[in-house]
Structure 1
């Protein structure tokens, strides 16, 4: 029996902080890196599948070659990443995903991709998904050792030490592309499509100018936060969108915000409703006079938070000119 694409990957749900291993000690922690999920079908005719089933192979020819030259047929679960000197570069990874043909080959030479592998689903025709994670990990480590795998292959760090895993939640790790930690059951089997794993993200606090809202100004649902252009142009750039506000926060902000006039810097601009979609977001500009403190994860691209941030409070001690990125 062989696994064939498309194959649904096993998924995770978010948690705040790291759960304790407990008396059973069955939990294991792995680094969560900032990349594209990739299922690698390492065969003479390899296939690199995205989380949603798309074919990533044409954009990453060096990964296709590595998969075809592995020396044993296998199916691996991994994160596809691009290293850019001081850390992982998600923007460069996105740009690479759009390239094909000679352009993809040039990008492979200048911005090579790597696979951070964390699971082994099939080896030499034996499907391993019903095997416990401990067994799959042992076979994965043996594969790396016996095949002497090196770049573009990388083995995901794993530990049973909660204190070690807690260090991965430090924003300093986030700055180089480690988003946090995955938490898994060492005895668990691989369940495609099931959110049976947990993930805890590295988080940090920052400030942004409340420049627009969704919903109404008197009853805002989410906030659009901006910061002054660091180039000194006087423009306001979008840095984050908040998660839905609580009822009390909506009421508090609705009493303090004011509709913006026609000179608002975002008047007439279009923002997407979500990351990776072109659907426009319906928003209402407000006078950019209040500064909000928020908490967000460390996935920041070009100064913009990729995931929604959580509003904490208004910083009455700060003026918009005090906000810096």
Structure 2
């Protein structure tokens, strides 16, 4: 492979913003695997955000790139998977695509095929475009990729702030999680937070039902396990709360000790899990980090915490939540799914058919 921009390349990043900035180019924020694609003839490399190749996990994307890309190009974008109806992004299905067995990779490529959404052009032919302004790179990207390919798409973009605000609200219903704003004169700067991302921020009152210890040792808390009651009165596991200072982790561990209980007296008993309830698994380890222990210490579900979250994926928080405050005034039984704001459904196909800048 001989390209003017060679792998690996760390992608350009975004810093969080609380509002949509004026006088930018606005794009929907995709919820997938960030990837920089390098194509030189039949050679294709899909590089991940951490510079490790994703190529072997997405053979159908490799074939789509060969059919849609120019013969020699470097493109920044996102690998995504849609739900079976093609209406909404499915990040959980995307995660399952990273599997060590080649036979499993091939099977999943057929069952849950991925697509590539492009949003920046770093090189074309013999030309390194990284020092050209983004507005120019975007125009070249639109010329370089087809408008109607089934598996390779150019992300929608607009310079209309009012239209961007509408996208921010509507596109969440298709599984997207906000906006990315780029200055028209922005040069491509790998690993630099020079774009702006605006994400949905909401709060919810949750029951604290357990904790995991911190990786540094047994004297500090790693994360709090959160629950919400469903319509049947069952406490469902919805995610975790983390991002504490080390001093606060040690304080929280001490504060939780009076609530420690046994699994037999806990709503997430292993018998309930074996019956099919979605709860943390006993002695579970992470698929993505084999050394990471996901077992937890059960707590009596008596304390309520208000957490900040961006959005739900199914019946769970998509990302780690952030602690806002403790809610001693709340009855744990009042912490139900009814309090959550649910986005209006929006078809993913309609997102992809919006016009180009």
Q: Which category describes the TM-score, using the shorter chain as reference length?
A: 0.7 to 0.9
Pairwise CA distance, 1:240 = 2.5
In structure 1, the partner of 2:228 is 227
Task: State the secondary structure of the residue aligned to 1:104.
Answer: helix
* Match runs of 1:143-182 below 5 Å: 143-144=144-145, 147-170=146-169, 173-182=171-180
TM-score normalised over the length of structure 1: 0.80
Q: Which runs of 5+ in 1 are unaligned?
A: none
Distance 1:143 1:119 in 2: 11
CA RMSD of aligned residues (A): 3.5
Task: State the secondary structure of the residue aligned to 2:302.
Answer: coil
In structure 1, the partner of 2:315 is 303
Relative distance call for 1:280 and 1:16 in structure 2 (3 A) is: farther
In structure 1, the partner of 2:241 is 241
Task: State the secondary structure of the residue aligned to 1:40.
Answer: strand
Name the count of aligned residue pairs. 311
Relative distance call for 1:116 and 1:321 in structure 2 (3 A) is: same
Relative distance call for 1:236 and 1:149 in structure 2 (3 A) is: closer
Distance 2:6 2:232 in 1: 50
Task: State the secondary structure of the residue aligned to 1:287.
Answer: strand
Whether the 8 Å CA contact 2:241–2:323 is kept in 1: the answer is: no
Whether the 8 Å CA contact 2:65–2:152 is kept in 1: the answer is: no
1:29 equivalent in alignment to 2:26: yes
TM-score normalised over the length of structure 2: 0.74
Distance 1:103 1:132 in 2: 42
In structure 2, the partner of 1:73 is 72
In structure 2, the partner of 1:190 is 188
Pairwise CA distance, 1:159 = 1.6
In structure 1, the partner of 2:198 is 200
Distance 2:7 2:136 in 1: 23
Task: State the secondary structure of the residue aligned to 2:64.
Answer: helix
Distance 1:310 1:139 in 2: 40
Pairwise CA distance, 1:286 = 3.9
Whether the 8 Å CA contact 1:62–1:108 is kept in 2: the answer is: yes
In structure 2, the partner of 1:259 is 259
Distance 2:322 2:5 in 1: 40
Task: State the secondary structure of the residue aligned to 1:164.
Answer: helix
Runs of 4+ in 1 over 6 A off after TM superposition: 229-232, 254-257
Task: State the secondary structure of the residue aligned to 2:239.
Answer: strand
Task: State the secondary structure of the residue aligned to 2:178.
Answer: strand
